[in-house]
Structure formats: C-alpha cells, structure tokens
Amino acid sequence: MAVVLATSPAAGLPWSDGARSDGSLLERLTAQLLTLPVREVLVVVRSQDAQAGGWEKAAASGTRHQICVSDGLAEDLRIVAKTARASTSPVAVLAADVVAHTEALSLLLEHPARPTGAIVATGDPAPLRPPVRTEWGRVVSAGTSFHEVEWANGTFRGVLQVGEAHLAGLADIAEDLADLAQRRHLGRVGDGEVPELLLTGLVRAGVQVHAVTPGTLHCGRVGTRPAAERAVRELADVDEAQARLDAAVKSDDGFFTTHCVSSWSRHLIRPAARLGLTPNTVTGISVGFAAIAAIWFSDGRRAGLVVGAVALYLSFVLDCLDGQLARYTRRFSPLGGWLDAICDRLKEYLVYVGLAAGYAAGPREPWEIWALAAGAMILQTIRHMVDFSFAGAMADRARAAGLRAAAPRSMAVPWDEAPAAAAAKGTGSVLALSRRLDALSGARGVAYWAKKMIVLPIGERMALISVTAALFDARVTFLALLGWGVVALAYTAAGRMARSFA
C-alpha cells in the first residue's frame, strides 16, 4: 500500500527527460510504483486539486487506486492513520514531489523482508531535506522544521515505509501528531511535512527504522520547475544497473572489510548471480572454507598456519559476498539472516579450536592455550550479548516513554546551517566527544575509522587472527584477541551506558 501526498504545488509540475514530456511529477511517481510490488495507491490531494489528471494511465494498468481529498495537515495525518489501521501489508508514505530512480525506490519498497525504513542520503539539510542522524544503519534521530536533530549526519529524502509489525504504532503516532497539528502545537511545520513528521514520531517512539542509502542513485524532493528539470536530467547521468551493484556493497562496514574485501568482492556478485548461487549457498561455502582453515591451523606448523590464514580470509570474503548477493538479488529471508549470524559464530569458534589444537600438539603445556581459547570465546560471547540486548532495551524504554513524553522542541539549528553546526553544542559527555571527533575528521576521517576499528568488528577480528597466526602462533593470536576484545568491550559498554542516560 502506498500513500502519495500530492499536497504541494510541486506535485503537479511537468517533467521531461529532454526527449519527451511525460506529464506531472505525480504521474511519474505513480508510474514508477506500478513497477514495484505496490498493490494499491492512495493519492491525498487538496480540494482544489481533486480533479488531478493522469490517473487514466494507472487505471489502464489495472492498479487499484483512489484519490482522497484532505483539507490540511491534520487531515493528512488522520488519513495515514486510517490507512495503517486498515492495511494488512506494509504501508509506504511518499511525497508526490519526489524525483528518484526507480532502483532507488526499490531498495526500500522491493525489499523482500519489507522492514520499516526510510531513504536517507548525505548532504546538508534544506527545507525539502530535513536532517537525520543515523547509527549502524538505523535512524536514531529525525527532524522537521520544528523538531531538533543534534549531530545530524544525513538527510531524509521523502520516502518512508512502515512494516506490518509497526502499523498499529504508525496509526497511533499519526493520530497523536494530527491532534498536535490541529491544536497548532507543531509550530511552523508545513503541510508538506507529513513523511518527516511520521519518521520523527516513529523514531521518538522507539521504532527501529532502517536507514536505506541510495548511494549513487538519486532520490529527493523538488519545489520548483527548474529544480525538477535539473533532477530529472541528473537521473539520466547515472547507470542504474551499475548503481544497483554499488548499492549491494554496504557503505558502513569496518576499515578492513571496506578496503581489503569489498573493494574486490563486488566483482564476484554478478558471476555468482549468473551461476544461480543463493546467499545461503554462499554462506555454506564460507563455512566450508572456515573448516578448511581450522584443519590447517590444527597442523600447528608454519605452512599450515599460513594456508589456514589464507583459507580464513577467503571464508570471510564469501561471508561478505552472501550479504552482497542477497542485496543485489533481493533474496532475503529470516532463515538466511539467522543462518548468517549463527554461521559467523560457528566459523570463528571452529578456527579457535583449530588454532588451540595445533598449538597444543607441540611441546608446550596444552592447558594454557585451551584456557586462552576458552577465554576468547567467552569474551566474544559477552560482547555479542551486550550488542544485541542493548537495542531491545533502548527500544523498550523509548516505547514506554511514548511519543507524548518526547515533547517536540523548536529547531535549534537553522535549515541553512550545515549539520556540523550541531557539533559545537554539548560538552563533556562520551557521546559529545565521539560526535565532535566525527565532525572534526570528516565523513571518512581518521576518527571515523578509529571508531569503527576500536569495537573489533568481524572484519578486524578475521584480519587479526589471519595475520597473527601466519606470522606468529596461536598463543599470540589469542592474547591479541583478548587484549583488543577487552578494550572493545569497555568502549562499547561505556557508549551503551552513556546512551542509556542520554
């Protein structure tokens, strides 16, 4: 289900790709939705636009559609609430003045898991690009012309999807916001900010909203005819097929994964797809390479350690490839996600056993190496417990607080001020220091990569194991894992505690 808000004059702007004119932006967007798994489109218009044209094409295509007349922002929100309560499938909320590649829309709307998410891109905030802050692939703060965002690192591009599990929450949030709008408690929020308001409400209510980044693809709202013409011309400058391949590679991975794996594993995606390999098949092959690594590590001699290190590296490359292939082919499943998470732990612990067995076979005391291996396993298990339990705890706290408890504040950072301006505020806290370092070092500066590496993500762990095993021995490997792991645990725990009290 898609709710298209054609409540701004820009929705009726004509568009042209330079060779032909194909009607209005509204018609263009609805035609794009026809190519995606959208079974019904509800267009919200003002009374003076109730006779909006262009629906003959949609009707001829057999798509179920309807036009709903609204008298203002509060009514727009109530229409969304009513739609969410009646829907049995995910609901997408889009502004009709969105100009985007179809491939960019499909990254969110065609995702087989159909999660709750929003299209977010980089760039300074503007009236049609409200600020957001994303962390680890999720939107953790979102703004409107009335709601403040500190430490913004992205902008919302007008496309929101709410999964089935969150539809009831969306309805409640939309109704709460409608009441606030009707009582004029939302300050200068305009009629065209329904998607922004809903995103802000969902985030403040503790809903996990995925941040979907279009990469080199374009997705954004326009307000004038020159802006619309410029945006449509920019679409033609991008190779959507290549952009789809680029989008399959995660942009927020760790340093080792980004520079030493994804830089070349992307060239394996299309061949794997042509061979008909599924993501789960690639996961299974990755486990096989990890088992080979463990067997060679168990040899204990230098040659075996080197071969095991190479096999472990290839195993990790395939571990990255399964996710890239899933994103490229959009073949996601709960089973696949579960298998990927379980197999990551299985492969790592298999390697621990192989390393310990190879070291113990030599003329050393075996109890020491097995104690170090057990310690590394326990530490890694604790770290994962901290990571996975925190997200649920914070979501529960936010849901308990509710939307009303998170009273909106007026914008502290003007729309024409860059996100880095927010970095000048706040002192002393762990979070403030972390974000100030981000602002000083830039989007991909030293501080950014240092923060990625200090938590010892899986890429850095695999690199650490491979390098220390090949150059030294298992004892050095486990001591390095324990030393870095303790630092990572302390850093993560301090950050989680700081966020808990923020």
Average pLDDT over every residue of 334-358: 90
Least confident of 183-187, 243-247, 287-291, 356-360: 243-247
Q: Which of 29-38, 63-72, 74-83 has the highest mean pLDDT?
A: 74-83
Report d(CA 238, CA 99) in Å as an integer.
14
pLDDT digits (tens, 9 = 90+) for 442-492: 556 788 888 889 999 999 999 999 999 999 999 999 999 999 999 999 998
Count of alpha carbons within 13 Å of 463, Cβ hemisphere only? 15
In this prediction, residue 438 has a pLDDT band, given cuts at 50, 70 and 90, of low
In this prediction, residue 385 has a pLDDT band, given cuts at 50, 70 and 90, of confident
Token output for 340: 């990927």
Report d(CA 138, CA 367) in Å as an integer.
43
Residues forming a β-bridge with 134: 139
pLDDT at 121: 93
Contact residues for 308 (Cβ-Cβ < 8 A; gap 6+)? 292, 293, 294, 295, 296, 297, 299, 351, 354, 469, 470
Average pLDDT over every residue of 430-449: 62
> pTM value?
0.69
**DSSP at 412:** S
Average pLDDT over every residue of 279-306: 96
User: If DSSP codes are grouped into helix, strand and coil, which group holds residue 2?
Assistant: strand
Average pLDDT over every residue of 248-261: 89
Average pLDDT over every residue of 140-147: 90
pLDDT at 405: 35
Average pLDDT over every residue of 212-234: 89
pLDDT at 499: 66
In this prediction, residue 145 has a pLDDT band, given cuts at 50, 70 and 90, of confident
* Cβ density class 272-296: b for 16+ within 10 Å, e for less: bbeeebbbbebbebbbebbbbbbbb
In this prediction, residue 177 has a pLDDT band, given cuts at 50, 70 and 90, of very high
In this prediction, residue 62 has a pLDDT band, given cuts at 50, 70 and 90, of very low
Residue 73 has pLDDT above 50, yes or no: yes
Angle between helices 167-182 and 194-204 (to 10 degrees): 120
Report d(CA 317, CA 394) in Å as an integer.
33
Q: How far is CA 356 from CA 299, 300, 311, 364, 456, in A?
A: 10, 9, 17, 11, 21
Report d(CA 235, CA 247) in Å as an integer.
16
pLDDT at 500: 65
Report d(CA 255, CA 271) in Å as an integer.
25
Report d(CA 415, CA 2) in Å as an integer.
28
In this prediction, residue 246 has a pLDDT band, given cuts at 50, 70 and 90, of confident
**According to the 3-state scheme, what is the secondary structure of 29-98?**
HHHHHHCCCCCEEEEEEEHHHCCCCCHHHHHHCCCEEEEEEECCHHHHHHHHHHHHHHCCCCEEEEECCE
